[in-house]
Amino acid sequence: MTDKILTQKNRVIRHGAMELIEHWAIALSGLILLLTGIFELPVGKRYYIIDVPGLGWSADFITSLYLHYAAALVFTAAAVFHVFYHGLRGEKGLLPRKGDLSESVTVIKSLFGFGEEPPMRKYLPEQRLAYAGMALIILMLIGGSPGSTAGGMKTATFAVLFLSAITVFSRRNDVQCFKRRISDEAVRSAGAVLFMYLVLFFTSGIIISRVEDLPLLTCLFETGSAIGTVGLTLGITSSLSAVSRVILMILMFFGRVGGLTLIYAALPSADGQNSRLPLEKISVG
């Protein structure tokens, strides 16, 4: 929405109720996704997180998993709503515009006393550039479809994870799509791929940011492009140190060959081919 100026109350309303709900839904569900993803690892008891008031459930894997799936559904629904709601209304305030880079430089120069600060719109040029950058990073991480030359975690992996979340809340036994059942092994593999790509993506971006003393979002763009074998850059690769370049090369190799393929090739199977342990049915949740 456009800014609504209330002269009598000396107030400017920048966002409507729908936009505020959408914003907080994305922000809170994203935070819950991050926390529950960490709590699915054995860190709750090890680092005494369960002793923090209100976080006693952090050591319960099933509870963290269900909360993670719930937050994923809210985040996805809010993100889809955001795209269609603002798209159908023709609102393009967050989309990058011609001259954003030069305007951003002018703003930074004005902060140090070089020239006057240009008039501001509803969103700063840095906000519009960051918005486009985050959307592009997500697309690069998802990558292409299986069987193609593209890297990333693949569109099929994303679809299986989304369907598995729907299956949990619809209380079905099997993940289904187009009247076909998806195997449990495929669901486990999709979860492993997502976890592995996110760890490589964020860890590599943080390391490069610390080593090169560069903004984290810029480094995440580079690592997302590398692991997705996209080939895009913000122009910093030529000035990176040898350590950062090696990290990007490893990410490109993982993204192209596939992380699970390398792991399966390097590590032997831990299960015997002719025997399985007895099955135990337990009550959870």
Comparing CA positions, the residue from 113, 123, 101, 140 lying closest to residue 223 is: 140
Averaged pLDDT for residues 34-50: 81
Listing DSSP states for 91-157 in one string gives --TTS--TTHHHHHHHHHHHHTTSSPPPPP-SS-HHHHHHHHHHHHHHHHHH---TTSS--SS-HHH
Phi then psi for residue 114, to 5 deg, are: -100, 95
Per mean pLDDT, which range of 109-123, 203-217, 258-272 is the poorest? Answer: 258-272
Structure tokens at 154: 């693949």
What is the model's pLDDT at position 246?
92
Structure tokens at 121: 């719109």
Per mean pLDDT, which range of 135-139, 235-239, 269-273 is the poorest? Answer: 269-273
Examine the pLDDT at 38 and tell me if it is beyond 60: yes
pLDDT, tens only, 183-199: 877 887 787 788 888 88
pLDDT, tens only, 63-83: 888 888 888 888 888 888 888
- In whole angstroms, what is the distance from residue 192 CA to residue 264 CA? 12
CA 123 and chain centroid, separation:
23
11-13 and 4-6 as β-strands: parallel, antiparallel, unpaired? antiparallel
CB 226 within 8 A of CB 248: yes
Structure tokens at 146: 């299986």
Comparing CA positions, the residue from 175, 162, 142 lying closest to residue 255 is: 142
Taking the model in full, what pTM does it have? 0.59
More confident residue, 125 or 243: 243
Partners of 96 in beta bridges: none
From residue 282, give the alpha-carbon distance in Å to each of 172, 258, 276, 279, 285: 17, 34, 18, 10, 10
CA 16 and chain centroid, separation:
26
Examine the pLDDT at 264 and tell me if it is beyond 80: no
Partners of 11 in beta bridges: 6
What is the model's pLDDT at position 284?
47
